[in-house]
Amino acid sequence: MIFTKDNFLDLKNMTDKDLNKLDIPGKVIANGGLVLFPTETVYGLGANGLDENAVKKIYEAKGRKSDNPLILHIADFDMVDILASKVSPLEKMLMEAFWPGPFTIILDRKPVVPNCVTGGLDTVGVRMPSNEIARELIRRSGTPIAAPSANISGRPSGTNIEDIFEELAPKVDYIIDGGECQVGLESTVVRVIDDIPTILRPGKITPANIKEVCGRVKIDGHVMGTLKEGEQVLSPGMKYRHYAPKSKCVLVYSEDNSKLVDEIKKQIAGYRNPLVLVSNENLKHFDCHKLSIGETGNLNSIAKNIFKALRQVDKFNPDIVFIEGAPQEGIGLAIMNRLIRACEHNYIEIK
């Protein structure tokens, strides 16, 4: 498909009156088409979430396994009642605290939600994004929008249109360019289990944020662990290979920065064409191929940059990649959750 002003909307410098331009992609969604659109976390590959045929196009475009459910994106609280059969006071409290924002809650679904959205589960993931373009697109399409992260399955999620144009433009009907995503990592996914908010996928909304709202929080064991053979996983997306470049990647972390640098130096010595992904201030320690993952000590900056950096790895054709890890606190837990998958659990921690 060739993209012209009829199917590509540049809203990088959006003003209020530009919101009217979202009528057209809204109609594309309403009529069963696929739209690439920005959210505050990552770009979404959106379709009418109540239209089974439209949702199936998402799975085809991504090459996604059909048992991996999609999140439905809503623009206002009334839409929750259309999708979810019962909402507990605790669930309501969480939605009110974190919406609109990078927070997805798993609720018992109503029959109106197509089976292909939920991957056959009797629950549905619901999120109200804070990105204005995303919410206005939902309003104008008049339906909840089913949207996974914009990437071919297994690839890092797209955080800007340039990174995903080649892989997804041929598969969609309309593209909205909203510039760089603010957060850079996908939403925190939470399910209330036995009256305890349980984090199935960490994100910008941290365990501490949730605890502050309702006094309790649990992190599902699969967030950092490896799935054992035959074991059930509550968030099906967590069991698949994800975010990984073609090259072998190893995650290295130490609380002590000089130990971390020394370890990566020692490790790369045996390789012909190593690549390191480290924070700005550590770049100077390496004279091999290197990429910055963000500002040293600024976890938000690393969250924002990490997928972009992972997407550049393969063009160096490295025989090994070493990636600087982050402390598992705040959004660092989400960074490490994505990186441990990108590295297929190859992890070195130096005490």
Q: Which is nearer to Mg ion, 25 or 44 (CB)?
A: 44
| Binding of residue 235 to Mg ion (CB under 5 A) | no
- The span of 114-122, 136-144, 146-154, 249-257 binding Mg ion (CB under 5 A) equals 146-154
In the complex, the smallest distance separating the C-beta of residue 16 from Mg ion, rounded to whole angstroms, is 31
| Binding of residue 188 to Mg ion (CB under 5 A) | no
In the complex, the smallest distance separating the C-beta of residue 274 from ligand TXA, rounded to whole angstroms, is 30
User: Residue number with the shortest CB distance to ligand TXA?
Assistant: 237
- Sheet bearing 274-278, strands edge to edge: 289-292, 274-278, 320-324, 249-253, 347-349
In the complex, the smallest distance separating the C-beta of residue 17 from Mg ion, rounded to whole angstroms, is 33
CA dist., res. 184 & res. 325, Å (int): 16
In the complex, the smallest distance separating the C-beta of residue 71 from ligand TXA, rounded to whole angstroms, is 5
Q: Which is nearer to Mg ion, 123 or 149 (CB)?
A: 149
Q: Which H or E run includes 323?
A: strand 320-324
Pairing between strand 145-146 and 320-324? Answer: unpaired
Q: Which is nearer to ligand TXA, 275 or 299 (CB)?
A: 299
Give which of 257, 220, 213, 185 is closest to 39, Cα–Cα. 185
In the complex, the smallest distance separating the C-beta of residue 201 from ligand TXA, rounded to whole angstroms, is 5
- Token duo for residue 301: 């900056």
> Of 118, 149, 282, 305, which lies in the binding site for Mg ion, with binding defined by CB under 5 A?
149
In the complex, the smallest distance separating the C-beta of residue 67 from ligand TXA, rounded to whole angstroms, is 9
Residue 206 binding result from ligand TXA, Mg ion, none, given CB thresholds of 5 to 8 Å by partner type: none
In the complex, the smallest distance separating the C-beta of residue 102 from ligand TXA, rounded to whole angstroms, is 6
* Residue 16, CA distances (Å) to 11, 13, 21, 74 in order: 11, 10, 10, 20
- Token duo for residue 320: 């090994």
Q: Which is nearer to ligand TXA, 122 or 329 (CB)?
A: 122
> Torsion over CA of 74, 75, 78 and 81, rounded to 10 degrees?
0
* Residue 125, CA distances (Å) to 72, 100, 218, 248 in order: 6, 14, 18, 32
Q: Which is nearer to ligand TXA, 43 or 322 (CB)?
A: 43
Residue 69 binding result from ligand TXA, Mg ion, none, given CB thresholds of 5 to 8 Å by partner type: ligand TXA
CA dist., res. 288 & res. 322, Å (int): 11
CA dist., res. 77 & res. 211, Å (int): 22
Q: Which is nearer to Mg ion, 253 or 307 (CB)?
A: 307
CA dist., res. 71 & res. 189, Å (int): 10
> Going residue by residue from 270 to 299, which x/- string records binding to Mg ion, judged by CB under 5 A?
------------------------------
Listed as own residue / partner, the contacts of 74-82 with beta carbons closer than 8 Å and 24 or more positions apart are: 74/126, 74/127, 74/128, 74/138, 74/144, 75/128, 75/135, 75/136, 75/138, 75/139, 76/128, 77/128, 79/126, 79/144, 80/107, 80/126, 82/110, 82/112, 82/144
Q: Which is nearer to ligand TXA, 147 or 293 (CB)?
A: 147
Residue 156 binding result from ligand TXA, Mg ion, none, given CB thresholds of 5 to 8 Å by partner type: none
Which residues of the chain form contacts with ligand TXA (CB under 6 A)? Answer: 39, 41-42, 44, 68-71, 102, 104, 106, 118, 121, 123-125, 127, 147-149, 186-187, 189, 200-201, 234-238
Task: Name the residues that contact Mg ion, by CB under 5 A.
Answer: 149
